[in-house]
Structure 1
Amino acid sequence: MLAFTLVVLLAIGNVSIVQLLLRESDGVAATLNVAGKMRMLGQRIGLETLAARRNPDPPDPASTDLSAAFEAAHDALRFGGHVFGLDIRPVPAALAPQLQDIRQAWLRYRRAVDALADAPVEAPGERAAVADLTRAGADLLARTEALVDRLVARAKEIQRRALYSAYALFALDLLLLGLAGWVVSRRILRPIQTLARQCRALAAGDHGARSSLPPGDELGELGRALNDSAAHIEQLLQDVEKEHAALADAQAMFDGLSANTVAGIYMVDETLRFTYANERMADMLGYSQAELMDGFPLERLFVGPAYETVRAQALDRFEGHETRTRYECAARRGDGEQIELEIFGSLMKLHGRPTLIGIMFDITERKRAEVSARRAALVYAHTSEAMVVTDANGVIQDVNPAFTAVTGYGPQDVLGRTMSVLSSGRHGEDFYRAMWADLQATGRWNGDIHNRRKSGEEYVERLSINTSYNEDGSVNCRIGLFSDVTEKRRREASIWHQAHYDHLTQLPNRQMFEENLRRSIQHTRQGGLPFALLFLDLDLFKDVNDTLGHEAGDQLLRLVARRLSECVRSSDLVARLGGDEFTLLIRDLQNPDDIFSLADKILDSLSQPFSLGGHTVRISASMGASFHPRDGDSDSELLRAADLAMYAAKEQGRNHFRVYSADMRGLGPARIRPQSG
């Protein structure tokens, strides 16, 4: 009975809804029809008005009612009513503004029509009236078109709603039919089908399947019992799945750790045999992975005291004294090489049995580095060579004891300060600028520096600077090593002075003179000014030596050296070649004739009396000169030319000066100069 009632109600509802949709559709169609007629009427009124201008016949009586028809259509759309044989409902409020715009456009259009009708034919104002009528007609047409478009859109919307309503009606029909079927089968068919589906789902493994039978009868109680059983089974399966997921995560984590290339991972059972070793472990120990995992005993790996250490540590963990530990010991690889290992281990349960699991690191290189670092620290602390470590900007970071021994400054005096604390002030900015340029370019510098100790004493240090870089190429630190070479440099300077200076007169000797002569030649070749070479031999020196003795002769030579040095500039050079022979290098001559005034000055100075103890002696000198590059381009040529000029002066008589000329070559190299006056 209930099912029949539902079917009847469904039929009545369907008919009512269809009728309602048809009425609404008819109303929209009528409204759209009237709006279309309004658009047509507006065009027709304008056309007939234009036609009446060209046709003198009286107008068609039917055309006079067009305006009234337009206004009737407008009022019907606005307020509702009967027009053109159609019942019209008012347009929705949303379209009222458009109707008002059409009303305003219609009034403008009517005024334009009346103005054209009153205008004389072919009068000057006719064209303007026609233009006004055209614009007003176009405006009215546009506004009626807009209304038609809105009505068309509304019609489509109504059709869409009607379609949705049809869909809803169809769905409602299905729902009601299903409800009727449910009412028919609810007590028998549906419960049985529900239970059957649940049983099939449970059999297929879907333990989340549940029945929703209402309690109160046998089928309902059976459904409740099945639901309880399925819930219990589902919970059990979820717990098992969580455990499997946790195991899978742990296995994945372990596999990831095991695959590392840094640490060896191991497992050891109670018999102190390996049960697991990763590939890194095998590489580290020099055995295959399969060999280690086949019950490899620890005593083969650790020998002697090392094995006792490992065994004691393992037993402590197995006995529960410790759960985790860390220690270092030596091991022997498969190839016999000894390595150092760092071992970490923890106690765990595996298949119900205690197992040690841990990691091993090969620290052989680290141990070697530590030994090397300790040795380096010993060297750093005990070497006699001073060491200083600075940052990239020269700020002192560390010093060794030898630094304090050399400079007198302790760490507390210099840490955080720059190396300028040692500066003696003898080196200018150019010196340090060049040093930093070398450090920036090459990272190295070495050379002698004059520094000052804390006591204020100045000393010479031999300094060598090297730079340590970071991996990115930036400066990590700079390391300076230096030693006090003050005495060494003094000895070297003394040896050099002895090798280059005459011990009697302290003038440059022959070796130093020849070196300076060659440098002067090179300087002139490179664009420098000419220079003059003067060769001087003392007259009557042998008589003084023979009469007053060698000591008086030596004293005379020292006095001659002093007078010669007083006659020349600081840039010139006076040297003693040996015996009573002296040479002078007069550099950068602006005018070669200047040499004559200098020669007169020298000869006059040497002709003055010399006081030798209780004796007064007078001597003179014979002197010759040659010029570079005029008289030769080599040191031997210049010496020979000056020697010939000096010989020519001596031949001319004592206390004379001659400049070399080509005619002196006749004296020839076979001539032998006397060694003394």
Structure 2
Amino acid sequence: MQHVPFPRSVRQKASLAFILVMLLAVGNVSIVQFLLREGDGVAATLNVAGKMRMLSQRMGLSALALHQYPGLPDLAPDQLPTLFDEAHDALRLGGRAFGLDIPAVPKALSPQLLDVRQAWMRQQLAVDALARAPAGDRVAVEALLRANTDLLARTETMMDSLVVQAREVQRRALYGAYALFALDLLLLGLVGWVVSRRILQPVQALARQCRALAVGDYAARSDLPPGDELGELGRALNDSAGRIERLLRDIEQEHAALADAQSMFNGLSDNTVAGIYMVDESLRFIHVNTRMADMLGYPQAVLADGFPLHQVFTGADYETVQAQAMERLSGRATRTRYECVARRGDGEPIELEIFGSLMSLHGRPALIGIMFDITERKRAEASARRAALVYAHTSEGMVVTDADGVIQDVNPAFTAVTGYSADDVVGQTMNVLSSGRHDEDFYRVMWARLQDTGRWSGDIHNRRKSGEEYVERLSINTSYNADGSVNCRIGLFSDVTEKRRREASIWHQAHHDHLTQLPNRQMFEENLRLSIEQARLGGTSFAVIFLDLDLFKDVNDTLGHEAGDQLLRLVGRRLTECVRSSDLVARLGGDEFTLLVRDIEDPDDIFPVADKILDSLSQPFALGQQTVQISASMGAAFHPRDGGSDSELLRAADLAMYAAKEQGRNHFRVYAAEMRESVQVRQGEFARGPDPASAPAQSG
């Protein structure tokens, strides 16, 4: 149906409705006529069938009468058979009989009609036979009666069938009437749908739109399809409503724009940062905001009442302002920006940055713009220039990174120290300088410190571009934004490689024996106290061994001090080889050595160490062209079993060493409490007081 062309105008739609009604009326009349014709045909058929029956009875009766009474006139003229035959042919083929137009009987009744024809012919034969038979011939009469009875029966049967056919025709006529009624309803419904859909509904939609427009709802629209007068009317209303709506919207936008412009100007004018001014063509102020009045040091009402510019700007500054203003007022420039110095009402100078543009006020040219007090900015710029000079010429390296450690800028001193230019490192992290000497824990602690406090300082081993390793003293500070986030990090560093080398040399000299390069008494005491503290915290044990060389004085006296010094160096080397890297070997002085053997789980574990030392020291020593052989006496004490302080442990180990000497050379003893009763403890906290007559000679 959607592809069937539909009438487009209201006239066409009304014409279509009229045509549908006319078709409905014509169809009704045609169907009624058809039903009437059907009914007339059935009635005519029954009428002819009845006449044929009457003809058969008339002919039979006439034949019986003439047979019984030959002198009677003939009651069955010769045309009666002809009439019967015509009626039979009309029923069989359709036609006219007895002055009636009849249709052919249905094919279903053709056998009955044939039976009637045959019964008629048999009756004709019986009539002829009766006419030839003598009067009173009973057989011929009976034959005629049988033939006539058979013909009447056949005719009755056909008429009964015609009656049934008539009822069927009536039934069909009734169904036809029902169908006609249904068709009438359908057509009437179609006409009503057309009228409602294409006329009434559009009219109602237009009425609703008109009511909405009447109350100011210009957004109301009708969605009538175009093509007819109502659709054109709806489109015209939509266009009119759209124009009115756009007009009202434009008016509202213009009002809103004016209000926004006024609010914007008021907001700008009421700001506390920039001065807003308006100047007429005679170079007089006609409007200033509060900030402008505060900057210039005059009352706002005085400035806005035609205050001349030459009282604010003087000398060369006024000439600059005047030239800039005339450029804009003459139309040679529409906007400008410049800086100059003004005089406040109290006479103090103020540096201003001025922005201005041309405008029209009441049909006359005028200037509008803003002024900023840049006095502090100028001071800051001067300070920044000085800071830039310091940044560029300081001898200390400076590096600026973002919050993640990515380098943003470096100064020339950075390049001088590291060998890297700004192009080499900007955009990279400080890892570019890493020497690999520091592990991840070092940098993790550094970053944790920076995250917590924003500061870190310390020594770092880095590598120059040339590959040379150096030590720098680095201080990092953090610059924060107003919201507390990191703006940048500033690193300040200097090359302290030589300084740290000197400090390390001084420290080494202060803590090591100059002859054997073993830790000296001071470093041994510090390590002993540290070991005591660590043992207390960790619950571990360690041993202190006191060692004195046997026969050293003989070597020193016989071969000389140089040989004695060489022997001491060799002894120190062998002692170091006999213990672990976590243990400590120290020379207290002369031929006395001490050892810290850490992490002793069982006191008996010290004996393999002592045997190893004694065996190593008892091996021959090559001193130039000479070979000597010495031994050692050793004593050991355990912490915390034999003492809780450094002095107690040293005294116990010393007593154990003396007990070993009493047994002879090359012995080792572990401290026991009874040693205090058999050995005289030397005076002093760490060393024995030497007997001038028996003390061994000390070398180095």
- Please indicate the TM-score interval, normalised by the length of the shorter structure: 0.5 to 0.7
Task: Report the Cα offset of residue 448 of structure 1.
Answer: 3.3
**Following superposition of structure 1 onto structure 2, how do residues 167-566 of structure 1 map, counting pairs within 5 Å?**
254-269=265-280, 272-302=283-313, 305-314=316-325, 316-317=327-328, 322-334=333-345, 338-348=349-359, 350=361, 355-440=366-451, 442-468=453-479, 475-566=486-577
Please tell me whether the aligned partners of residues 541 and 619 of structure 1 are also in contact (alpha carbons under 8 angstroms).
Answer: yes
* Correspondence for 1:594: 605
Separation of aligned partners in 1, 2:329 and 2:308: 16
Separation of aligned partners in 1, 2:504 and 2:657: 34
Shift in alpha-carbon separation, 1:577–1:337, aligned structure 2, 3 A = farther
Separation of aligned partners in 2, 1:439 and 1:246: 52
* Correspondence for 1:36: none
Task: Report the Cα offset of residue 322 of structure 1.
Answer: 4.7
Task: Report the Cα offset of residue 635 of structure 1.
Answer: 1.1
Q: Is 1:569 aligned to residue 580 of structure 2?
A: yes
Q: Is 1:634 aligned to residue 649 of structure 2?
A: no
Please tell me whether the aligned partners of residues 528 and 588 of structure 1 are also in contact (alpha carbons under 8 angstroms).
Answer: no
Separation of aligned partners in 2, 1:274 and 1:671: 103
Separation of aligned partners in 2, 1:314 and 1:424: 64
Q: Which amino acid aligns with 2:527?
A: N
> Does 408-417 or 437-446 show the bigger shift?
437-446
Separation of aligned partners in 2, 1:270 and 1:513: 93
Shift in alpha-carbon separation, 1:639–1:298, aligned structure 2, 3 A = farther
Match of 1:646 among 657, 663, 666: 657
**Following superposition of structure 1 onto structure 2, how do residues 55-204 of structure 1 map, counting pairs within 5 Å?**
none
> Does 340-349 or 566-575 show the bigger shift?
340-349
Larger Cα Rg: Structure 1 or Structure 2? 2
Q: Secondary structure at the match of 1:589?
A: coil
Separation of aligned partners in 2, 1:540 and 1:667: 24
Match of 1:605 among 595, 598, 616: 616
Q: Which amino acid aligns with 1:483?
A: S
Task: Report the Cα offset of residue 581 of structure 1.
Answer: 2.0
Separation of aligned partners in 2, 1:350 and 1:612: 112
Q: Secondary structure at the match of 1:427?
A: coil
Separation of aligned partners in 1, 2:266 and 2:444: 59
Separation of aligned partners in 2, 1:567 and 1:374: 65
Q: Deviations over 1:239-273 (max 9, x none)?
A: xxxx9999998766644432233321123456654
Separation of aligned partners in 2, 1:532 and 1:246: 93
Shift in alpha-carbon separation, 1:321–1:544, aligned structure 2, 3 A = same
Shift in alpha-carbon separation, 1:667–1:245, aligned structure 2, 3 A = closer
Separation of aligned partners in 2, 1:589 and 1:372: 65
Count of residue pairs the alignment pairs up: 465
Q: Which amino acid aligns with 2:657?
A: M
Please tell me whether the aligned partners of residues 509 and 576 of structure 1 are also in contact (alpha carbons under 8 angstroms).
Answer: yes
Separation of aligned partners in 1, 2:519 and 2:482: 54
Shift in alpha-carbon separation, 1:256–1:590, aligned structure 2, 3 A = closer
Q: Deviations over 1:203-227 (max 9, x none)?
A: xxxxxxxxxxxxxxxxxxxxxxxxx
Q: Deviations over 1:566-607 (max 9, x none)?
A: 222222110011232211011112321232333233234334
Q: Secondary structure at the match of 1:633?
A: coil
Q: What TM-score results when the alignment is normalised by the length of structure 1? A: 0.58
Q: What TM-score results when the alignment is normalised by the length of structure 2? A: 0.56
Match of 1:578 among 586, 589, 592: 589
Identity between Structure 1 and Structure 2 (%): 80
* Correspondence for 2:246: none
Please tell me whether the aligned partners of residues 393 and 413 of structure 2 are also in contact (alpha carbons under 8 angstroms).
Answer: yes
Q: Which amino acid aligns with 1:657?
A: F
Task: Report the Cα offset of residue 512 of structure 1.
Answer: 1.2
Q: Deviations over 1:128-149 (max 9, x none)?
A: xxxxxxxxxxxxxxxxxxxxxx
Separation of aligned partners in 1, 2:264 and 2:606: 98
Q: Secondary structure at the match of 1:593?
A: helix
Task: Report the Cα offset of residue 299 of structure 1.
Answer: 4.7
| Unpaired segments ≥5 residues, structure 2 | 1-177, 190-253
Q: Which amino acid aligns with 1:538?
A: L
Task: Report the Cα offset of residue 353 of structure 1.
Answer: 6.2
Separation of aligned partners in 2, 1:351 and 1:286: 29
Separation of aligned partners in 1, 2:460 and 2:498: 14
